[in-house]
Structure 1
């Protein structure tokens, strides 16, 4: 009987949850001594006229062998489903195709899943890449290996004190003079800005290529998961050996 890898993957987690639930419950139950114990007592007085007491009985509520059977039943499905998936992962493969050509061939499912996680991390990295200030005119400087702006000049000034006569001196009053500072050009700055950031178009290109690659990996994974696979039955050999019941169940 065959099935698709995607179907096996879908049922693996529920099978695991159920198996661990049954195993945990059985583990706790077999440690409760009262559930495993039973008793049957009858009373007989020494004399015929003695007090008559009713018998006392309590049944065994849990057999350890029954707990083992429940665990084996749950683990059988979980082990077989997991084995089917893991064996399939060694054979279910697909090509990562971009622009009609195979970028990677015969990629197994585990590596496709790995790639999806890695590309998600790279998406965050690319999104945070620094971009050049669009307000500037950038040109690539081959000698320096960075981007640069054309040189632009700014005037260097120096403040020089000046006197402003608000009122001339008279025979009675001195002149009223107010001091102020005047910016006098003393030189010229020639400035070139440099940057190691990226042009916005470059970042957009990287984002587009990353998205195309993520889509291609996703399609490859879906294609590989659609592979028809044979179901594996491994639990019987393992669990039968582990929980083998002797012909004489009372044997040591």
Structure 2
């Protein structure tokens, strides 16, 4: 029996009932605009509970519908919230499970990372991590079948992340997804100003202008922006809100942004 990474935040960050979850994801996507532009090569999406960040995440996932027939693998990076370590953590699992089913891990691609000193196999970094998990039901709904390359990012440099992304970049069959929220626990107006500045930095492909505490996924975001800049790509802000706009009070908010890189 293959090793499966079990969901850790189903029933907390998103529904654990498959029918309820699928309906919620579809409703979020239906409420988001679906532009006719070609789907992006890479996206940045938030990772809070769906009631808070789901509408913002749907703003960028809605761009992927036309890519359903050709995206066959997803490189998914998000920050570690629970386990401190250096570098990037790959799983030994052969699949990641959500209430919507199992997603096969691209074990061949994972094996191909063994020569990168910054990559290590650490199932403990994946076991309770939500930053990757909350992206999966959206990906399952918009893409259908695909293979997953999930990497949790710890204490790493932008260059270390970029090196791995460059190796995994691929062609139109590969989507890069970076999971990150923005500022945390400021008042509403302060958060809006900070998050606007972060969005300007992302659009400029200038990770050096993103303060450490203004995006929890700053490191994987930075690696992506460096890789995008080297390829002459562009970043676009599709949505920028915070928990005060979606489902929470405005005295201590968390910022959420959705970005497309193409």
TM over 0.5: no
TM-score of the superposed pair, with normalisation by structure 2: 0.15
Structure having the higher Rg = 1
